[in-house]
Structure 1
Amino acid sequence: MTTESVQFRLAEHDDLPDIVAIYNQNIASHMVTAEIEPVTVMEREDWFAQHTPDKWPMWVATRGGQVVGWVSLSQWNTRAAYSGTAEISIYIDAAAKGQHIGTLAVQWAEAHAAAARINTIITLIIGANKPSIGLFKKLGYEQWGFLPAVMRFADRNQDLVLLGKTLV
């Protein structure tokens, strides 16, 4: 399939089961999220409610009416001076990986960040996730931090890499 058929729209509450399912696909690898156990839709209700179109937006990527991924800009820190900085999160359905949807998602979020008064985007990536690090570096993000072995999983420890980009 081609990426031309991918569309983005604001996430709606009815999308939450798909958002959670895609998120849960990524837990077992210990390379995409620091979660260890799958989450439920109910557990994600408050988190989803924090994503509003005007400040901390979340979008779903769709193809043929099906949700194939999602991207969000979330509050990184509650202190007022950080109000223009957002953490970006991207999750792609396993069946849609390798189709450049991640690139499109980052570009979409960047293009819509100004409307949410966001001028800096950061991302926290597990160090072993070389594809995600490569994606963000390709799009102009720079490494702003490195925390060695801060995540402890049953099978291994993982580093955390912080990448960032100032948009304006």
Structure 2
Amino acid sequence: MSIHFKFAEKNDLPKIVAIYNQVIKLKNVTADLTPISVSDRETWFANSSHDKYPIWIITDDDKIVGWCSFEPFYGRAAYQHTAEVSIYIDEATRGNHIGTQTIQFLATQLKQRHLQNIVAYVFKQNIPSMTLFKKQGFEQWGLLPQVAEIDGNHLDLAILGKHFD
């Protein structure tokens, strides 16, 4: 599998939303409980910026197999060098090390965006994501125990982070 990254365009939004909706049914990846619509994400997409906080699609042979993004962390000026990261991989291509390649790609994008830190919010019960980030050198910087409830299950939200100097 030879993957590539390119800035997402508005016509990619339906596939971005479809991939995101795949993980809702897993009940340990996102705090959304019901599928979202393309219109639900139009403002989010419009607020992304190629300069500082882009959304990328991940492609294999011109087929979208995932997406990733940087977003502002906590929105205050002192946090300007820290970004929240999101990574979502199409269920048909999970397990092919796309997540690892994505984190490695994102690390190459930090300097030009004047970013030094990446923060990821991951449910501790989401073992594949916890493993992925920890294998890439992320550490647990915080834990919010039982802050989410999905189908009667209480989930812990881990705050994972890594400094890139």
For this structure pair, what is the TM-score category when the shorter chain's length is used for normalisation? Answer: over 0.9
TM-score, normalization by structure 1: 0.96
Counterparts of 2:144 and 2:87, CA distance in 1: 21
Find the counterpart in structure 2 of residue 24 from structure 1. 21
Counterparts of 1:94 and 1:155, CA distance in 2: 25
Matches within 5 A, 1:148-163: 148-163=145-160
Amino acid aligned to 2:9: E
Percentage identity across paired residues of the two chains: 45
Find the counterpart in structure 1 of residue 164 from structure 2. 167
Is there any run of 5+ residues in structure 2 with no aligned partner, and where?
A: none
Find the counterpart in structure 1 of residue 93 from structure 2. 96
The answer as to whether partners of 1:69 and 1:90 remain within 8 angstroms in 2 is yes
CA shift for structure 1 position 155: 3.4
Provide runs of 4+ in structure 1 moved above 2 Å.
none
Counterparts of 1:18 and 1:150, CA distance in 2: 29
Amino acid aligned to 1:34: A
Find the counterpart in structure 1 of residue 113 from structure 2. 116
Q: Secondary structure of 1:8's match? A: strand
CA shift for structure 1 position 157: 1.0
Match of 2:52 among 29, 52, 55: 55
CA shift for structure 1 position 9: 0.7
Is there any run of 5+ residues in structure 1 with no aligned partner, and where?
A: none
CA shift for structure 1 position 163: 0.6
List per-residue Cα deviations over 1:86-143 (Å, max 9, x = no partner): 0010000000000000111111111111111111100000111111111111111111
Query: How many residues in Structure 1 have an aligned counterpart in Structure 2?
Result: 165
Match of 1:85 among 82, 85, 88: 82
TM-score, normalization by structure 2: 0.97
CA shift for structure 1 position 49: 1.4
The answer as to whether partners of 1:22 and 1:69 remain within 8 angstroms in 2 is yes
CA shift for structure 1 position 85: 0.6
Matches within 5 A, 1:121-160: 121-160=118-157
Q: Secondary structure of 2:121's match? A: strand
Root-mean-square deviation (CA), in Å?
0.8
CA shift for structure 1 position 29: 1.2
Amino acid aligned to 1:118: L
CA shift for structure 1 position 30: 1.3
